Amino acid sequence: MAKNIYSKPVLFTILAVGTVLVGTLVTTFIPMMTAQMHPKLAGLKPYTALQLAGRDVYQSEGCPFCHTQTVRPLKTEVERYGAYSKAGEFYYDRPFLWGTKRTGPDLAREGGKYPDAWQYAHFKDPRAFSPHSIMPSFGWLQDSKLDPAQVQTHMNVLGFPYTPADIQALADKTRLDALVAYVQTLGTAVTRKAAVTAAVTVKKVHIKNPLAGNHEAAERGERLFEQNCEACHGKKGVGYIGPSLKDKNVFLYVKGNVPDDDYFDIIHNGTREGGVEDGRKEKGGMPSFGETLKKDEIWSLVTYIRSLQGEKEE
């Protein structure tokens, strides 16, 4: 029998191809239809109508060309962006928006990293937060209203069921509202690392600001403040997205002054929800500047902030 097959090349080819196709079907396509191949994180929720509309905006404006949404299991990426990506995070993503290039930072863990006000301001003027950013401004999206009928068409194609009330609620929303809502969901289903805090029984040894009272340091700190801090804390630290820095008797929304090195720690490490600095709970939302600013530059910022607190209110 085997000899007959070998002597008939056409029949042999057909049987060989058929065997390969059956093997491929059994080992590849059939497992893809099983539930195990489509995991979903326990904390993952379906996109709301507004968030899914924002996902459409994210795609239409070409955001995936500059930003990825996947953290590889590499130490450098995990330390910078957070926990590496899990398959179960993308259960509702059609298509996946993993991206191919990081002209801008990865956004897989962007959700909740900053408050909504920060996201709005950043989309309107990226260079207010990063002077060398090449990201275009998307402030014009605030003048572009969502079309509920068009959004519903997209929902139907993707198979996301929403009630007429859900769709109608989009009538007063803009494309920028939708984009911010979408970005704020990214990575929120993944358990974030708890903020590391010192035990309450450990007494902190405070470090004195080596540039305290230095006029030149204060001037340099003012320039650094304008470049890195003004967009959130307002001109001259009067407050905007972040709290006012003018009152030395309020720190992390709690009354009572603190030593200069607490300001240094906040600037260097940023804040995370649940974190603690000198016994005060952090609300989160402030990025870390420890990798972008040198120690003497951070001390210069602290010196400038102290000079602001010494000024009289006009």
DSSP 183-237: HTTTTTTSPPPPPP---TTSPP-----TTTT-HHHHHHHHHHHHHHTHHHH-GGG
Please enumerate in sequence order all residues whose Cβ is within 8 A of that of 38, keeping only pairs 6 or more positions apart, or say none. 91
3-class secondary structure, 93: coil
Q: What band does 2 get if pLDDT is binned at 50, 70 and 90?
A: low
C-beta of residue 265 within 8 angstroms of C-beta of residue 277: yes
Tokens of 140: 């014009």
pLDDT at residue 200 in the model: 42
Distance separating alpha carbons of residues 150 and 30, to the nearest angstrom: 36
Q: What band does 37 get if pLDDT is binned at 50, 70 and 90?
A: low
Comparing CA positions, the residue from 136, 125, 144 lying closest to residue 230 is: 125
Comparing CA positions, the residue from 92, 114, 150 lying closest to residue 284 is: 114
Looking at domain 49-183, does it have CATH number 1.10.760.10?
yes
The answer to whether the predicted template modeling score (pTM) of the entire model surpasses 0.85 is no
Tokens of 58: 């994210």
pLDDT at residue 163 in the model: 87
Alpha carbons within 13 angstroms on the beta-carbon side of residue 307 total 20
Q: Give the architecture-level CATH label for domain 215-310.
A: Orthogonal Bundle (1.10)
Q: Which residue has the higher pLDDT, 206 or 134?
A: 134
C-beta of residue 283 within 8 angstroms of C-beta of residue 257: no
pLDDT at residue 160 in the model: 80
Q: Is the pLDDT of residue 157 over 60?
A: yes
Could you state, in order of their start, the residue ranges of all structural domains in the chain? 2-37, 49-183, 215-310
3-class secondary structure, 280: strand
**Per residue in 162-219, pLDDT tens?**
888 999 899 999 999 999 999 999 999 987 665 444 444 445 678 999 999 999 999 9
**Per residue in 209-240, pLDDT tens?**
999 999 999 999 999 999 999 999 999 999 99
